[in-house]
Amino acid sequence: MQTDDPVRLRLVAADAVRRWKRYLPIVAMLRDYRAGWLKNDIVAGLVLTTMLVPVGIAYAEASGVPGVCGLYATIVPLLAYAIFGPSRILVLGPDSALAAPVLAIVVISAAGDPSRAIAVAGMMAIVSGVVCIVFGMLKLGFVTELLSKPIRYGYMNGIALTVLISQLPKLFAISIEDRGPLRDLLELARAIAAGQSNWTSFAVGAGSLALFLLLKRFDKVPGILIAVVLATLCVMVFHLDREGVKVLGTIPQGLPALSLPWASGADIVRIVLGGCAVALIAFADTSVLSRTFAARANVRVDPNQEMIGLGVANLATGLFQGFPISSSSSRTPVAEAAGARTQVTGIVGALAVAAVLLAAPNLLRHLPNSALAAVVIAAAIGLFEFSDLKRIYRIQQWEFWLSVCCFVGVALFGAIPGICIAVVLAIIEFLWDGWRPHFAVLGRVEGLRGYHDLKRYPNAKQIPGLLLFRWDAPLFFANAELFQQRVIEAVDQAPSQVKRVVVTAEPVTSVDVTSADMLRELHRALRDRGIDLHFAEMKDPVRDKLRRFELMSIFPDACFHPTIGSAVEAYLDAARPDEAAAV
């Protein structure tokens, strides 16, 4: 026993090391790091910084928190993800897709108080982080795959519209109360008609947006930086702030302090739901983006560790006066194009942003709010997806209308209720195929091997006395009664008196207690009519469940057949000679 102890301890230690390497991908990154990569990562990090600063501030303003929080929410997640994130070059930070749901909670809970807004947003980030970490630890990284592509298109189009509308008042330097996208648009139109707009502010913002969209086609040109710098110079040179153009103003110098955010008297349930909603959006976007860039590099990324890395980044951000963050589909390609090799690029970018906060915070005080709004609007335009929806409409119209319903839900009721509608629609869509699945009665087709659907092959012949019934879905509570009903109907409509029903169970991947009880009832109903119930091609795990549900007493081994052909042969062997001769 004593000689085994060192071996056992070494195995335990090796397992512990494997676990730490999984949860701390930076260990493997540093181990495999090459000196030749450092120059690429530093250059890519500095190039990335030209986007990180203006985008971080713009998305913070769009989320209802002070602009400096966008820089905090840029620095902290980049450093946290570099330690815990599995993706090689994924860039995390403030994201336009999260602006609408964060703003929806902040506006209601903060009541215009900036410090309270920071606390509420920080609480949402912590909730989002905890949700992601727990789901990652439980290996539930697949949950976002339950949202179909049309539903994702629907809620992202709705969020894009919400974000775009939320930024329009800033273009015109008009302050309106947030009441939902369509109401806000109507209120903005009334304010413009009443002469409340500042056309100088609009000119700065619209010019920045036009310039950015013009330069966007050039991959290596920092369009955002150029547009923002020119807008800032215009404000400084022509003193446009005296003309009513609102500017960012002085931001606090220094780095954020560690603190636990708390907004006393806030609706905790609303904040928790908001945090869960942004966690769903953030991981859905991050998982897609991570897989895309992993495929380009021909590497595999663990989705559960991806969720943990995203969760730690959100949790850390919430503790340092930040707000919920996600991966960036605009900054990650910039890092890749600039030559990024590893997460050292993100570390360099974080340190560069920190240097701006420490050494030159006043560089940003003349940054016009309308230019920041233009940055967010440009990002929102990029969120819209219409081309693929045309394809979906052409090939599957009901999924297209499902996407439209999701979009309308977000546009009418706001981001958080809209996302809840999207989740409900996803569950309904997920259950629908299993609730009302395809089924078939099978027969023989002359000149064609096997047994085939009578609806597709009307000339197919059924074997007298035998009903071959195929069910193309798992058996569970939502379709158990329908299964029983369809089997009885098929028996009643058979061209000859049925002696045996064989369920071709290859498509049946699972059963639950409700469906198991239904099979017991179906067996009893068929037995009373002198009909046997057998199964063909049933998977072993499904058969194991029937055993666990105590059904093997009524379904002995003779009731199970490895193939449809063997089930038919078994029936013919037991049939009367005239029935066998008829085949």
The pLDDT tens digits of the residues spanning 408-459 come to 988 888 777 877 787 787 778 777 777 889 999 999 998 899 999 999 999 9
The per-residue pLDDT for range 141-150, each reduced to its tens digit, is 776 666 778 8
- Mean pLDDT for 515-531 is 96
> Above 80 in pLDDT, residue 18?
no
Query: What angle (nearest 5°) sits at the alpha carbon of residue 147, between those of residues 145 and 153?
Result: 120
What is the number of structural domains in the chain? 2
Query: For residue 468, what are the β-bridge partners?
Result: 442, 502
Instruction: Tell me the per-residue pLDDT of 208-251, one tens digit each, with 9 for 90 and over.
Output: 999 989 988 887 788 888 888 999 999 999 999 899 999 988 88
Residues 346 and 469 placed together within one structural domain of the fold = no
**Of the candidates 371, 395, 429, which is a domain's last residue?**
429
197 and 50, same structural domain? yes
Closest to 188 in 3D by CA, of 161, 210, 169: 169
Residues 463 and 420 in one domain: no
Alpha-helical regions (H) of 436-539: 480-493, 513-528
> Could you give the CA distance from residue 189 to residue 252 in angstroms, rounded to a whole number?
35
- For residues 413 and 459, state if they share a domain: no
pLDDT tens figures, 504-520: 999 999 999 999 999 99
Range of the domain at 208: 15-429
Indicate whether 537 and 575 sit together in one domain.
yes
- Asked if the structure places residue 6 within a domain, the reply is no
* 220 and 325 part of one domain: yes
Q: How many CB atoms within 10 Å of residue 393?
A: 15
Q: Which residues share a beta bridge with 532?
A: 500
pLDDT above 90: residue 464: yes
Residue 4 lies in a domain: no
Length of the chain: 583
Q: Which residue has the higher pLDDT, 579 or 271?
A: 271
- Asked if the structure places residue 68 within a domain, the reply is yes
In the predicted model, is pLDDT for residue 558 greater than 90? yes
pLDDT digits (tens, 9 = 90+) for 97-156: 899 899 999 999 998 899 999 999 999 999 999 999 999 999 887 766 667 788 888 888
pLDDT of residue 412: 84
The dihedral sign for the CA sequence 363, 364, 367, 372: positive
Question: 3-state DSSP call for residue 298?
Answer: coil
Binned at pLDDT 50, 70 and 90, residue 203 comes out as: very high
Regarding whether 19 and 60 lie in a shared domain, the answer is: yes
User: Are 468 and 425 members of one domain?
Assistant: no
Q: 7 in a domain, yes or no?
A: no
- Pairing relation of β-strands 439-445 and 448-453? antiparallel
Residue 497 lies in a domain: yes
pLDDT value for 17: 61
Domain CATH number, residue 542: 3.30.750.24
The radius of gyration computed from the CA coordinates of the chain, to the nearest angstrom, equals 31
State the pTM of this model: 0.74
- pLDDT tens readout for residues 42-88: 998 988 888 898 999 999 999 999 999 999 999 999 999 999 999 88
> Can you give the pLDDT at residue 3?
47
Give residue 150's pLDDT: 87
The answer to whether residue 9 sits within a structural domain is: no
Q: Is there a domain that residue 223 lies in? A: yes
| Structure-token pair, residue 52 | 């990180």
What does the pLDDT average to over 356-380? 88
Same-domain status, 309 and 446: no
In this prediction, residues 289-309 reach a mean pLDDT of: 82
In a domain, 83, yes or no: yes
Residues 425 and 451 both lie in one domain: no
pLDDT at 296 over 80: no
Q: Which of 429, 460, 483 is the last residue of a domain?
A: 429
Whether 193 and 98 map to the same domain: the answer is yes
Report the distance separating Cα 235 and Cα 251, nearest Å.
Answer: 17
Residue pair 337/50 in contact by the 8 Å Cβ criterion: no
Element of type H or E holding 466 = strand 466-471
The phi, psi pair for 471, rounded to 5°, reads -120, 115
Q: Which residues of 33-47 are buried (b: 16+ CB within 10 A; e: fewer)?
A: eeeebeebbbebbeb
Say what percent of the chain tops pLDDT 70.
Answer: 94
Domain limit, last residue, from 405, 429, 453: 429
Same domain, 366 and 455: no
pLDDT band at 539 (very low <50, low <70, confident <90, very high): very high
Residue ranges with strand state E in 164-231? none
